[in-house]
Amino acid sequence: MNGKTVVSLIGTLAMLSVAAPAWAYLDPATGSIILQAVIGAIAGATLFMRTQLFRIKSLFVRSKPSGDE
């Protein structure tokens, strides 16, 4: 490891070791925002996987020559 990585790692560990507990309040709007983020992540992942699947399929499928059929 180089020096900058070691210093960053030690600094991160030091900050995490002195963290105080958070007494946070989650209102009802926070739950709906979290739900919206989860649904959006699922939709985005589905679209990404579907796009990649079509790209992979296109590597194995021959295209018809244009013109005469």
Residue ranges covered by each domain of the chain: 27-61
- Which ranges constitute the DSSP H helices of the chain? 3-17, 28-60
d(CA 37, CA 45): 12
Rg of the chain taking only CA atoms, in angstroms:
25
pLDDT, one tens digit per residue, over 13-69 is 998 888 777 787 878 888 899 999 999 999 999 999 999 999 998 888 877 777 655
Instruction: Please give the model's pTM, rounded to 2 decimal places.
Output: 0.51
